[in-house]
Structure 1
Amino acid sequence: MPSTEPTTQIDHRYGDAEAVPTPWSTAQEHLAAAEVAWLSTVRPDGRPHVTPLLTVWLDGALHICTGEVEQKARNIAANPHVVLTTGTNALRGGLDLSVEGRAERVTDPERLQVLADAWEKKYGSEWHFEVRDGGFEGGHALALVFRIEPTTVFGFGKGPYSQTRWCFPGS
């Protein structure tokens, strides 16, 4: 979890003159409530890869899981820098978020159990996972779990239009 609150800046070049920065607490609420996010990774040959997935916001970080042989897992192994985006497809209203960070694998069984419980609480029993072999077992192949602590987050408000940037210490 980030040790301190991020610095918050608004860029008036990309919004309405009366826009004010979106509070970080509002961004966190949106990250926690988002059902789907889009993960952007880079393949070893430099080509981008983007895929939708489920996320859990817990203790100041987004968490994802993916099969160990899936493209995104292979990309993270080669380059752990990722971007997660979520929001709405509406032109007016809502808040779109773009989270930059580094994916770090979670293998601690106690932490994995906390995350498995969080997945099921958020998404229901269809997303029940057993903790096994440093990951999640859910009826298919082993899923690796990653924590993505934000380094920089951009928030794009759409009523009024605004762009807020949150930078975390050490980023």
Structure 2
Amino acid sequence: MPDTALDQRYSDDHATAVPWEVTQEELATAGVYWLSTVRPDGRPHVTPLIGVWLDDALLFCTGSQERKARNLAANPEVAVTTGANALHAGLDVVVEGPAVVLRDEPSLTRAAAAWLAKYGEEWRFEVRDGRFHHASGAGVADVYRVAPAAVFAFGKDPYSQTRYAF
């Protein structure tokens, strides 16, 4: 369990810290995440993607020649966000930490099963040579694991900012 703290500076007077279990559920059930990386020249790069929350980490995949993979090769630190696109309802979550390529085939097999369970047949992957191979033959991808260094949950009714430290 992470250390959990409500930041009262950014929270309503009657707000309480969002329980970690609630934040984990948001991470597990989100359909789309936004990955922020840094280009080699220092400019930000943000892209939507799909992923799974598995074994206390966020997993996503990308081809080795895509911009995000090239950015990660130079700087593995990322922020991944998800949440509700509403001002007065829902929970927004930010995960910060290094994105590390996952090559362990038993872990990748579990990850492929999680992708299939969450997103259906469109996202069926076969695991070979430490990578995801799209079942349709459409491509090969590396899987990245982001074990959080910190997670932030932003509640909106009431407004709150909860920080989880790992």
Bucket of the pairwise TM-score, normalised by the shorter protein: over 0.9
- Matched length: 164
Normalised by the length of structure 1, the TM-score is 0.94
Task: Give the distance between the partners of 1:166 and 1:112, measured in 2 at CA.
Answer: 27
C-alpha deviation, 1:133, in angstroms: 2.2
Find out whether 1:71 has 2:67 as its counterpart: yes
Q: RMSD of aligned C-alpha atoms? A: 0.7
SS, match of residue 154 in structure 1: strand
SS, match of residue 98 in structure 1: strand
Partner residue in 2 for 1:161: 159
1:73-112 CA-to-partner distances (Å, cap 9, x unmatched) read 0111110000000001101111000100111111111111
Task: Give the distance between the partners of 2:153 and 2:44, measured in 1 at CA.
Answer: 22
Question: Of 97, 101, 111, which residue of structure 1 is paired with 2:93?
Answer: 97
1:111-170 CA-to-partner distances (Å, cap 9, x unmatched) read 1111001000000011000112211111222100010000001110010110000011xx
Task: Give the distance between the partners of 1:23 and 1:9, measured in 2 at CA.
Answer: 10
Partner residue in 1 for 2:43: 47
Runs of 4+ in structure 1 deviating by more than 2 angstroms, as ranges, are none
Task: Give the distance between the partners of 1:110 and 1:151, measured in 2 at CA.
Answer: 24
Question: Of 144, 147, 150, which residue of structure 2 is paired with 1:146?
Answer: 144
Question: Of 15, 26, 29, which residue of structure 1 is paired with 2:25?
Answer: 29
Partner residue in 2 for 1:88: 84
Q: Structure 1: which 5+ residue stretches go unaligned?
A: none
Task: Give the distance between the partners of 2:62 and 2:145, measured in 1 at CA.
Answer: 12
1:35-67 CA-to-partner distances (Å, cap 9, x unmatched) read 100000001111100000001001100000001
Task: Give the distance between the partners of 1:70 and 1:96, measured in 2 at CA.
Answer: 27
Partner residue in 2 for 1:109: 105
Q: Structure 2: which 5+ residue stretches go unaligned?
A: none
The letter of the residue matching 2:72 is I
Task: Give the distance between the partners of 2:106 and 2:148, measured in 1 at CA.
Answer: 22
